[in-house]
Amino acid sequence: MSALPDLKEAPPGFKPEYASTGALRQAVGESGRVHLDRWLPFLILHRTDDPETSLARRIAVDSPAYLLWSPGDDAVALSALEAVASAAVEREGRLLVVTLADQPVEFHREGSQELPPFVAQVGAGDEGDVGRAAAALEEDLRDIEIDLRDCKVERVPFEALLPGPFNKLLNRIEGVERMSLRVPQIHRRKEGGEYPAIAHDISVGIGDSLLRAACAFMDDGKTEVPKHYRSLGRSAYLAAALKADKKLDRVARSFDFLLSISPIDTAKAYARFAAGHEQQPPHFHYRPLTVDPDLAKRELYAIDFRALEDPLLERLLGEKRHELDAQLTMLATRNTPAFRPASMFLYGMVDDPLLADAKAILGSSAKDPPRGPTVNAPEIAEAAGELAARYREQHPDFTPDVQVREDVAGLLVSGRKLLIGADTVMPRRRLDALLAHEVGVHLLTYFNGKTQGLTIFRSGLAGYEGVQEGLGVFAEWASGGLTRTRLRLLAGRVVAVDAMQRGATFIDTHRLLHRDHGFSSQGAFGIAARVFRSGGLAKDAIYLQGFKAVMEIVERGASLAPFWLGKIAVAHVPAIEELLQRGLVQAPRFIPLFLDNDAVEERVAALRGAKGLAAITTGA
C-alpha cells in the first residue's frame, strides 16, 4: 500500500494530519472531517447543517475515503477538497467523486396505510467509467431489502448538490468524474427521531453498494481491479475500534464463564450419589463469582460502537456484546430456575436431525478395542508441554500455561491455560487425539487470534464455541483417535441436553443414559452433571453439532483455513474473508500439526462424497 502524500503544498486553511497507520485524518471546521485510509480512486462528499441526524453523513463516515463538512466551514472544506482531489488524480490518474445528500423527508397523513417511498436517486451520465459505476450502483441498490421492502432506484440527471465554488473546483481538475446519490429517509419517524434498525440497514446496504460502484469505476480493462469489492474498505483499525475492543475484552476477562458455572466437587458428589443408591439428585458446590453481573453489563453497554466507522466491525463487536450479556445473565441466575431458559437462549435447542444422529451412534453395536495402558494427569501435562514445544518451533510465542488442578474434571482450556483435572486417567492410545483437540485447536486458535489486531479473535467471536468444539473433535478423528467410546459420549450429551430441555430431572436423565443407552452409572452421572450444572446447561449438545458442521465443510471440499486464524463461527467465514482482503487480519501463524500427516489426507479424501456423520457412526 502506497503511503499518502505529505501535501506540503496544501492550500491555505488546510493543514493535513496523519494517523499512526499513515491514513490522512483531519478535522474540517467544527464538525467535519477528511479521512483517506490509503490511495483510492474514489472520494465520498457530504455537506450538511444537521450532522447529528443525517443518514447520508453516516454512510459517508463508513467509507474509507470521505470529506464531510457543514456550510459554515465551506472555505476550509474547499481547501481540503482541492488538496485531496488534486493529489488523488495525480497518483491514480482519475477520481470518482460521489456526493451524498439526504432526500427531503416525506410523511403520509396520520392513520394512512401507505409507507414513505423507499427510493434512492442516482444522478450520473450513462457513458464511460462513471456510467459503468452508476449502473453498478443502481443494480446493487435494487438488491437492498429492508422490512420486506425492496429499494427502488430513480436514475436522474447528474446533480452537483454542492455550492458553485466546489463545482468549479472539481470541473477544472482533469480526471475527476462525478456522481450524486440522494439517500432515502424511510428510517425517520413523524413524531421525531428514527427507527435505528432501519437506519443501520440502509447505511450498511448503501455503503456496500458504493464500494461495488467504485470497483466498477476501476474496471476499465486497463486498471488492476480488486478480487473482491470489499477489499476497497478500511485497511486499518481506527483508534476508536481498538479502544472499543479493549473495553469489550476487559469485560470478557473479568469472569471465566465455564469455571463459574462448573462444579468444583463432581467426584465427591458422585460418591454421595452412589451411597444414596442413586435416588437423590446431587448437590454441587461452585466457585464464588468474580464479577457483579449487573455492574459488568453497565460497563458493557457503556461502550460506544458508533465511532468505529466500520459496519462490519460494529456488527462483530455488537454480536459479542450480546453474547457476553447472555453469559452475564446466566451468571446472575446461576442455580435458579431462570438459568435453564437463559442457557437455551444462548445455545439453542437440540434439533431433530442432531438427535437422530446421536441416537444412531448410541444404537451402534460397534466396540472399541481393549482399554490398554493408561496415563494420568502428570503424564498428560508432560505430553502437553512437549507438544507445545513443537508448536514453538513454528514461532516462539506459543506459550500455554499447563496446570494440574483438583477443582476441574478432565481437560479444559481457558484462554492460554490448559487445565487438567488431578484425577484424570485416560487410555494412552487416546492421548495424542485429546492433545490435538485441546492444544492443536483450542490453544492454537487462541495464540493465532492473539496475533490479530483485535482481542476478540483470541477471546472468540460470538457463537464460536460450536465449530470450535467441532474442530476439536475433528482433530481427534483426523488423528485416528476418535474412539467409539468418545463418540458415544458426545452422543450421550446430546440426548441428555434434549431430555433436560424437555423437562426431565437429573434422576430421569441419569436413568435414561444408564439403563436405556448402556452408560456406566458413573459415566451417566458425569454426563448428567455437565448438563444439569448451575441449573441446566444446553452447551454440551454443540460438540456433536459442531463436529457435524465441520465434517460437512470437509465433505464438500471447502477449506478449514479461516478457522485456524482465531476463534470464529461458521457464519463469520465471509467476514473473515473480507477482513483478509482488507488486510485487517493476517493468515494464521500456527498451523495444526495433526494435519501434517499423510494418513489425515487419506482419511479426508475418503470422507469426501460420503455423508460425514453417517460414515463416522458406521465404523470410523
What does the radius of gyration of the chain's CA atoms come to, in whole angstroms?
29
471 found inside a domain: no
pLDDT at 22 over 80: no
- Enumerate the H helices of 410-539 as residue ranges: 431-437, 444-450, 456-459, 465-478, 484-501, 506-511, 521-532
Of the candidates 475, 259, 467, 413, the residue with the CA atom closest to the CA atom of residue 400: 413
Q: How many independent structural domains does the chain possess?
A: 1
Q: Which residue did the predictor score with more confidence, 222 or 617?
A: 222
264 found inside a domain: no
For the entire predicted model, the pTM comes to: 0.87
pLDDT tens digits along 502-526: 999 999 999 999 999 999 999 999 9
Residue with C-alpha cell 441446566? 536
> For the residues of 296-332, what is the DSSP string, one character each?
HHHHHTT--GGGG--HHHHHHHHHHHHHHHHHHHHHH
* Cell matching residue 601: 489426507
Q: Do residues 161 and 180 touch, judged by C-beta distance below 8 A?
A: yes
CB atoms within 10 A of CB 206: 24
Q: Do residues 394 and 448 touch, judged by C-beta distance below 8 A?
A: no
Instruction: Please give the Cα distance from 421 to 530 (Å, whole number).
Output: 15
61 found inside a domain: yes
* Cell matching residue 155: 436514475
Half-sphere exposure of 258 (CA within 13 A, CB side): 14
Give the amino acid at 302.
A
H or E element at residue 375: strand 374-376
- The fraction of the chain above a pLDDT of 70, given in percent, is 93
| Burial zone of 264 (CB within 10 Å; 0-12 exposed, 13-18 middle, 19+ buried) | middle
Instruction: Please give the Cα distance from 43 to 179 (Å, whole number).
Output: 11
89 found inside a domain: yes
Give a three-class secondary structure readout of 157-184. Answer: CCCCCCCHHHHHHHHHCCCEEEEEEEEC
CATH code assigned at 44: 3.40.630
What pLDDT shows up at residue 8?
45
131 found inside a domain: yes
pLDDT at 115 over 60: yes
143 found inside a domain: yes
Instruction: Please give the Cα distance from 608 to 600 (Å, whole number).
Output: 13
Query: What percentage of the chain's residues is helix, strand, coil (to nearest 5)?
Result: 50, 10, 35
**Which residue segment(s) compose the domain that 75 sits in?**
24-234
Give the amino acid at 468.
Q
pLDDT at 11 over 60: no
pLDDT tens digits along 439-478: 999 999 999 999 998 999 999 999 999 999 999 999 999 9
Q: In which band, very low, low, confident or very high, does the pLDDT at 111 lie, cut at 50, 70 and 90?
A: low
Instruction: Please give the Cα distance from 424 to 526 (Å, whole number).
Output: 13
H or E element at residue 44: strand 42-47
Instruction: Please give the Cα distance from 418 to 207 (Å, whole number).
Output: 43
Instruction: Please give the Cα distance from 380 to 27 (Å, whole number).
Output: 58
119 found inside a domain: yes
pLDDT tens digits along 292-302: 999 999 999 99
pLDDT at 619 over 80: no
Between the CA of residue 229 and those of 247, 435, 615, what are the distances in Å? 31, 40, 40
474 found inside a domain: no
Between the CA of residue 587 and those of 193, 255, 581, what are the distances in Å? 43, 29, 11
Report the sign of the C-alpha dihedral through residues 98, 99, 100, 105, in that order: negative
What pLDDT shows up at residue 7?
52
